[in-house]
Structure 1
Amino acid sequence: MQQARNLAADLGMRMKSLRFLLRDRDGKYGAAFDMVLEAEELEVILSAPRVPRMNAHCERIIGSIRREMLDHVLIVNEAHARQVLAAYRRHYNTHRPHQADSNYRLMPRNGPTPQCTTSTPAECCGPGSSAA
């Protein structure tokens, strides 16, 4: 409970711009913890049960979105954010050939794929090579 109070005090006025808190189901967060945050008008969302690595997956996708999209676009409002995220989702799920061979085969090729003729991938795809 004291942790929630400290969080609310540290965030101060910025707390008003927050709407959700995603937390895991650890026993150290009790009902009192949630009540303090709900008093600050935050909706507490629990992670899925028995998914210990969920936070790592969430952090990875959020980091990807931030680095690949939000660092390059100035978001004006919520409608614009939804539009940009929808475009990124399409790109992330369809236009990234390194995800799987099946996705790569579906994409049109503009030229021949560079073939590695050396013995190790580091020599073929290392810095300064034409395949990298």
Structure 2
Amino acid sequence: MKIPPRCLRANAHAERFIGTARREATDRLLIINEHHLRSVLGRYATHYNHRRPHQALQLAPPRPDRPIAEADYTAIRRRPVLGGLINEYEPVAA
């Protein structure tokens, strides 16, 4: 089924992802060529689908690539994504 032109509510999930990707990734980088753009969007899509906190899941990632630590942690580890443009935070078990 084709989406009507200029109809913002026709595909809200795609519109949300595109807006978020623009604000968090591509608006802050100087994109050199198509290969660079595909690389940045690929890494951002992986971050968006696996590691970002989700409010409806009590700030747990949608599909974590490893088990989530319990609440008995004492420190938080920061890991840069896209050269430090985005930072991922994960608890470190004591």
**TM-score, normalisation: structure 1:** 0.38
CA contact (8 A) 1:96 1:103 kept: no
In structure 2, what is the Cα distance between the partners aligned to 1:74 and 1:91?
19
What's 2:28 paired with? 72
**TM-score, normalisation: structure 2:** 0.51
In structure 1, what is the Cα distance between the partners aligned to 2:37 and 2:69?
29
How much has 1:57 moved relative to structure 2? 2.6
What's 1:49 paired with? none
In structure 1, what is the Cα distance between the partners aligned to 2:10 and 2:47?
23
Distance 1:70 1:107, change over 3 A: farther
Structure with the greater relative contact order (CA < 8 A, sep ≥ 6): 1 or 2? 2
Specify every segment of 5 or more residues in structure 1 that has no aligned partner in the other structure, as ranges: 1-21, 26-51, 114-132
- Greater percentage in helix: 1
In structure 2, what is the Cα distance between the partners aligned to 1:72 and 1:108?
32
- Greater percentage in strand: 2
Q: What pairs with 1:69-108 in structure 2 (closer than 5 Å)?
A: 69-98=25-54, 100=57, 101=60, 103=63, 106-107=67-68
Secondary structure at 2:25 match in 1: helix
For the pair shown, the structure with the greater C-alpha radius of gyration is 1
Give the aligned CA root-mean-square deviation in angstroms: 3.7
CA contact (8 A) 2:31 2:37 kept: yes
Specify every segment of 5 or more residues in structure 2 that has no aligned partner in the other structure, as ranges: 76-94
